[in-house]
């Protein structure tokens, strides 16, 4: 009986010594997590560095327009719509985290010349989006589905649906992740091309933490904490007031459907190349993998941009053929 009391006293003393330390550590880690996610949810806004009006197109009628449409959470998205004026497939372009729609100016025109309706827009928290924060891939998936819904409602001058029932998605980084996830939620999506993509939001956040904090022991400790994925999901749910938004992209590529996939990796992109190749290996539908000298994680210029754009256009031409625009000259 005396031994039992001694043990209880010892246990209480140990508990009083270590419990406050564990509590402070837990609160500190959660607070740091909140701070980092807050920083990531408010990326620096890079101004647009061009628009379709920079291109001189010899046509009788304008072929593009500024557009706004509503998202499912009552916010708005903004973008450029390059239209054919007749029923044709549509391609939606989603840029990378920290970028904006200007990165896709040349690609959008190449796709338009190839016969596609093209919608290129700013993700929330980027470019000219009226939303002041990023959902880090959670709300953005729903925004992309809203963009598809917007296209479904567009008509030609004769009253026909401007989208002929086929939609293609292209995205880089966060834009690639949401393109994969959204593709499994709308049967009109027939082809998806992604560049430097990751499998889920947790991988993206861990990668951004390493970029933000640098390669040091604190960053390694935070990323490799036990139950790190659960902690990230909890923090995201509390910060963004959403639940069940961590849909892994691997579910979309392994579901099995009639969609076609193009996975693009760039040299020397480190973990992005590894994650993109892993998703390619797990994809069940018809797929292709292309390695380029430079991915669109960086801005591309002149020849590199032309070579890159040609591969993306070639993929969509084969996956969802369109009728090219004829007798159009264009300069910038």
Q: Is the pLDDT of residue 256 over 50?
A: yes
pLDDT, position 22: 47
Neighbours of 257 (CB within 10 A): 14
The answer to whether residue 99 sits within a structural domain is yes
pLDDT, position 35: 82
Task: Flag the least confident range among 6-20, 104-118, 205-219, 224-238.
Answer: 6-20
CA distance 108 to 48: 15
Of the pLDDT bands very low, low, confident and very high (cuts 50, 70, 90), residue 194 is very high
Instruction: Tell which wins on pLDDT, 179 or 220.
Output: 179
Q: What are φ and ψ of residue 143, in 5° steps?
A: -65, -40
Task: Flag the least confident range among 35-49, 81-95, 300-314.
Answer: 35-49
Evaluate the CA torsion angle 322, 81, 134, 206 in order and state its sign: positive
Of the pLDDT bands very low, low, confident and very high (cuts 50, 70, 90), residue 1 is very low
Same-domain pairing of 222 and 185: no
Same-domain pairing of 220 and 280: no
pLDDT, position 199: 93
Same-domain pairing of 163 and 209: no
* Residue showing tokens 């046509």: 59
Same-domain pairing of 222 and 267: no
Whole-number Cα distances in Å, 319 to 16, 57, 257, 287: 65, 27, 14, 10
Domain that holds residue 17: 1-40+205-242
Beta bridge partners of 68: 78
Instruction: Tell which wins on pLDDT, 212 or 147.
Output: 147
Q: Which two tokens stand for residue 210?
A: 């390493």
Same-domain pairing of 97 and 147: yes
Q: Which two tokens stand for residue 49?
A: 């560095």
Neighbours of 261 (CB within 10 A): 24
The answer to whether residue 10 sits within a structural domain is yes
Q: For residue range 227-253, what is the model confidence (pLDDT) as tens digits?
A: 556 667 777 777 776 655 567 899 899
Domain count, the chain: 2
The answer to whether residue 46 sits within a structural domain is no
Instruction: Tell which wins on pLDDT, 54 or 317.
Output: 317
pLDDT, position 196: 97
pLDDT, position 286: 92
pLDDT, position 220: 59
Q: What is the mean pLDDT of residues 276-299?
A: 94
The answer to whether residue 327 sits within a structural domain is no
Q: Is the pLDDT of residue 275 over 50?
A: yes
pLDDT, position 9: 56
In terms of phi and psi (left: phi > 0; alpha: psi -120 to 50; beta: otherwise), the region of 54 is alpha
The answer to whether residue 61 sits within a structural domain is yes
The answer to whether residue 330 sits within a structural domain is no
Task: Flag the least confident range among 2-6, 61-65, 146-150, 272-276.
Answer: 2-6
* Residue showing tokens 């992604």: 194
Three-state SS string over the chain comes to CHHHHHHHHHHHHHHHHHHHHHHHHHHHHHHHHHHHHHHHCCCCCCCCCCCHHHCEECCCCCCEEEEEEECCCCCEEEEEEECCCCCEEEEEEECCCCCCHHHHHHHHHHHHHCCCEEEEECCCCCCCCCCCCCCCCHHHHHHHHHHHHHHHCCECCCCCECEEEEEEEEEECHHHHHHHHHHCCCCCEEEEEEECCCCCHHHHHHHHHHHHHCCCHHHHHHHCCCCHHHHHHHHHHHHHCCCCCCCCHHHHHHCCCCCEEEEEEECCCCHHHHHHHHHHHHCCCEEEEEEECCCCCCCCCHHHHHHHHHHHHHHHHHHCCCCCCCCCCEEC
Same-domain pairing of 223 and 115: no
Class of residue 308 by CB neighbours under 10 A (exposed 0-12, middle 13-18, buried 19+): buried
Q: Is the pLDDT of residue 3 over 70?
A: no
The enclosing domain of 254 has a CATH number of 3.40.50.1820
The answer to whether residue 230 sits within a structural domain is yes
pLDDT, position 259: 94
CA distance 258 to 70: 29
Same-domain pairing of 97 and 130: yes
pLDDT, position 23: 47
Same-domain pairing of 254 and 315: yes
Same-domain pairing of 26 and 96: no
The answer to whether residue 332 sits within a structural domain is no
CA distance 44 to 162: 35
Same-domain pairing of 136 and 12: no
Q: What is the mean pLDDT of residues 80-105?
A: 96
Q: What is the mean pLDDT of residues 213-230?
A: 58
Q: Is the pLDDT of residue 94 over 50?
A: yes
pLDDT, position 208: 80
Which domain-ending residue is among 220, 242, 264? 242
Same-domain pairing of 189 and 315: yes
Which domain-ending residue is among 217, 242, 267? 242
pLDDT, position 237: 75
CA distance 93 to 70: 17
Evaluate the CA torsion angle 131, 136, 138, 142 in order and state its sign: positive
Which domain-ending residue is among 213, 242, 271? 242
Of the pLDDT bands very low, low, confident and very high (cuts 50, 70, 90), residue 61 is low
Q: For residue range 29-54, what is the model confidence (pLDDT) as tens digits?
A: 567 777 888 888 999 999 999 888 87
CA distance 323 to 201: 37
Same-domain pairing of 165 and 302: yes
Of the pLDDT bands very low, low, confident and very high (cuts 50, 70, 90), residue 20 is low
């Amino acid at each position: 009986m005396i031994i039992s009391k001694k043990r209880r006293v010892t246990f209480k003393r140990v508990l009083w010594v270590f419990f406050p330390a564990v509590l402070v550590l837990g609160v500190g880690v959660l607070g740091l997590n909140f701070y980092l996610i807050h920083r990531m949810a408010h990326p620096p806004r890079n101004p647009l560095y061009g628009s379709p009006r920079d291109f001189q197109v010899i046509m009788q009628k304008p072929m593009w327009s500024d557009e706004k449409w509503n998202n499912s959470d009552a916010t708005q998205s903004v973008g450029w719509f390059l239209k054919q004026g007749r029923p044709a497939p549509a391609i939606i372009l989603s840029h990378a985290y920290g970028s904006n729609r200007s990165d896709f100016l040349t690609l959008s025109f190449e796709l338009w010349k190839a016969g596609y309706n093209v919608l290129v827009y700013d993700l929330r928290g980027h470019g000219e989006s009226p939303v002041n924060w990023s959902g880090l891939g959670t709300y953005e998936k729903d925004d992309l589905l809203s963009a598809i819904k917007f296209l479904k409602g567009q008509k030609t001058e004769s009253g026909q649906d401007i989208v002929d029932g086929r939609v293609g998605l292209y995205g880089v980084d966060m834009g690639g992740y949401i393109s994969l996830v959204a593709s499994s939620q709308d049967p009109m999506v027939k082809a998806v091309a992604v560049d430097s993509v990751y499998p889920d939001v947790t991988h993206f956040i861990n990668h951004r933490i390493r970029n933000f904090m640098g390669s040091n022991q604190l960053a390694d400790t935070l990323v490799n904490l036990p139950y790190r994925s659960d902690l990230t999901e909890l923090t995201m749910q509390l910060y963004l007031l959403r639940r069940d938004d961590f849909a892994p992209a691997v579910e979309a590529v392994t579901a099995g459907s009639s969609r076609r996939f193009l996975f693009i990796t760039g040299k020397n992109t480190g973990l992005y190349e590894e994650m993109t190749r892993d998703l390619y290996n797990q994809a069940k539908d018809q797929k292709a993998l292309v390695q380029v000298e430079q991915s669109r994680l960086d801005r591309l210029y002149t020849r590199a941009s032309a070579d890159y754009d040609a591969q993306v256009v070639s993929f969509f031409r084969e996956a969802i053929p369109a009728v090219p625009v004829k007798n159009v000259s264009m300069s910038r």
